[in-house]
Amino acid sequence: MSEALNHNIETLVQLALAEDLGANGDVTSRTTISPDTQLCGQIVAKADGVIAGLAAVAATYRHVDPDLVVQPCVADGTAVTPGTMICEISGSAQSILTGERVALNFLQQLSGIATLTAQFVAAAAGTNAVILDTRKTTPGWRLLEKYAVRMGGGQNHRIGLYDMVMIKDNHIEAAGGITPAVNAVRADSIGATLPIEVEVETLAQLREALDLNVERILLDNMSVEMMREAVALTAGRTPLEASGNMTLQRIGSVAQTGVDYISVGALTHSAPALDLSMRLSRLT
């Protein structure tokens, strides 16, 4: 796990705990449970899925109470079924309950993304198409959510506006066309060092983009039939990415057109949380 990702986890966990605890802390647990009570909390899957986010669970409990013992039972990227034990937390009952909701929020959200990604990857199986995420992420959560995509078997598109140039329809309109837009990027000292992707909506635009030798071309909201034509026209000269209205029902037919990549915004903006729960038991 990268230093940047670890820093992102630490920052988000501290924000989440501050939001949940406020100035008074966990009043319910503090007043109803003896500080001497020791319990074991077990996080268990209640549905089929793929796990992601165990580092956030560990970070949550490290900030709540460094004396707690957090023991993952599976690794991120593991497929689970109902009843699978995912993680155990042992120690102060007060502390376990104080961190429960924050820990589960991270784990459920990220596991939901990994699970949906795995479903898209499975739907494209048997083709060469790679499933990509997008920048349609929860503000502040981008590195974490893109990590979850990788745990589900997908790959990451650009992280932000700084590491790849993507010339979309509005850029093309404002610049006066695809060719002027690409030339302007290549004339920039930073832009010239970055890969360029151009979005096209028609085969005529595709031909223009192909002549510019950019690193990737995005086929935006094309029909499956037009994508097939685009793949034939390109003939392997430039990697092609399909995007727009990508659903599980449609992904197989899109992948079979021969495109190299399929970007799916739903991986991060519409993934349902994976159903997980924590059950407590006395330490023996």
Helix or strand run (H / E) with residue 102: helix 93-123
**pLDDT tens digit string along 130-144?**
999 999 999 999 999
Which residues does the annotation mark as catalytic? Answer: 101, 136, 168, 199, 220
What does pTM read for this prediction?
0.97
**pLDDT tens digit string along 189-213?**
999 999 999 999 999 999 999 999 9
Q: How confident is the model at residue 282 (pLDDT cuts 50, 70, 90)?
A: confident
**pLDDT tens digit string along 87-136?**
999 999 999 999 999 999 999 999 999 999 999 999 999 999 999 999 99
User: What was the pLDDT predicted at 284?
Assistant: 61
Contact yes or no for 179/210 (Cβ under 8 A): no
Nearest to 114 by CA among 167, 50, 66: 50
**Is residue 283 over pLDDT 80?**
no
HSE-CB at 217 with a 13 A cutoff on CA atoms is: 30
Contact yes or no for 265/136 (Cβ under 8 A): yes
- For the chain, give the percent of residues with pLDDT over 70: 100
Q: Domains plus CATH for the chain?
A: 7-116+272-282 (3.90.1170.20), 122-269 (3.20.20.70)
Question: Rounded to whole angstroms, how far apart are CA atoms 128 and 144?
Answer: 26
**Is residue 173 over pLDDT 70?**
yes
**Is residue 247 over pLDDT 80?**
yes
Phi/psi at 143 (nearest 5 deg)?
-65, -40
